[in-house]
Amino acid sequence: MKRPGFAEGVAVAIVASLACGVLFSVLAPLAGGHAVLRILVALAGLAYVLSLLGRSGARVGRVAAVLAWCAGAGAIAWFAPSLPAYLAGHLVMAWLVRSLFFHAGLPAALADLGITAFGLAAAAFAFGRTGSVFAAAWCLFLVQALFAFIPARETTAMADEPGADRFDRAYRAAEAAVRRLSETT
């Protein structure tokens, strides 16, 4: 699994903030600011989740995560009348994806939740001070890039137990055998 690094998170912040700022400037006069903000939050959230899933290295669960995100986005659109609640709902879904695909336990997931809450606060502060969607998106995604500093999921949890190496080798051999059998049928 190749986790996104901080530099990649900064790149995502640049792209997302530029896209949100430009799209808001172009679309707000046509459709109204509130509706455009809701659409931008959903699109930016989906793009962010897809980028996370693409970097997760997981073979299983990515399609289910996207479908769950789509269902969650629909529920949030239906039940969250205010823009702050709508944004918070999308941030919680992004946090869930990061927690499920990148963190090993509850302490790491809670640290990530703190980063998510701090990102929401930074975005609200930036938007309140400047009124700029670009500045709000920049602050939000820049703070989200800090998740790269949360310790990664360890893949060798049983390495301290005696016989773990034999078990791991046998498990990998059995997986390879099942994979070969499934490819021939």
> What's the pTM?
0.78
In a 3-state reduction of DSSP, which class is residue 78?
Answer: helix
Distance, CA of 131 to chain centre? 25
pLDDT in tens, 70-96: 999 999 999 988 999 999 999 999 999
Task: Find out whether 133 and 37 touch, Cβ atoms under 8 Å.
Answer: yes
Distance CA 70, CA 50 (A): 11
Q: Which tops the pLDDT comparison, 65 or 159? A: 65
Structure confidence at residue 168 (pLDDT):
77
Structure confidence at residue 176 (pLDDT):
75
Distance CA 99, CA 102 (A): 6
Whether 163 has a pLDDT exceeding 70, the answer reads: no
Distance CA 130, CA 55 (A): 33
Whether 60 has a pLDDT exceeding 90, the answer reads: no
Please give the DSSP secondary-structure letter assigned to residue 147: G
